[in-house]
Amino acid sequence: MFEGNILTFNPGWDQNANNLVDFDDVRSIQKHLKSNNISLSAEADEQTTGPASIMFTDPDGNLILVDQHR
């Protein structure tokens, strides 16, 4: 599915996939990254709510996936 290393973060879930009450929405994370000139290879539609994901590459070439399920 993905070549190389990938780090995945899931806003809204704890380490056991239990729902968290408070969390940063993936669209908020996306805005923050873009305001700091981080280039995204996949973006969430900022006009939507709920599940979405973004992807970018860190300086070492690792793919970072922020995948929100709710």
**Is 61 a member of any domain?**
yes
The domain in which residue 30 lies consists of 17-68
What contacts 38, CB < 8 A, 6 or more positions away?
56
> Quick one: pLDDT at residue 58?
95
Domain total of the chain = 1
**Cα dihedral sign for 31, 1, 62, 66?**
positive
11-69 pLDDT, tens digit per residue, is: 999 999 999 999 999 999 999 999 999 999 999 999 999 999 999 999 999 999 999 99
pTM, 2 dp: 0.91
Residue 24, Cβ neighbours under 10 Å: how many? 12
**Is 1 a member of any domain?**
no
> Quick one: pLDDT at residue 3?
79
**Cα dihedral sign for 20, 24, 30, 33?**
negative
Question: Distance (Å, rounded) from C-alpha 26 to C-alpha 54?
Answer: 7
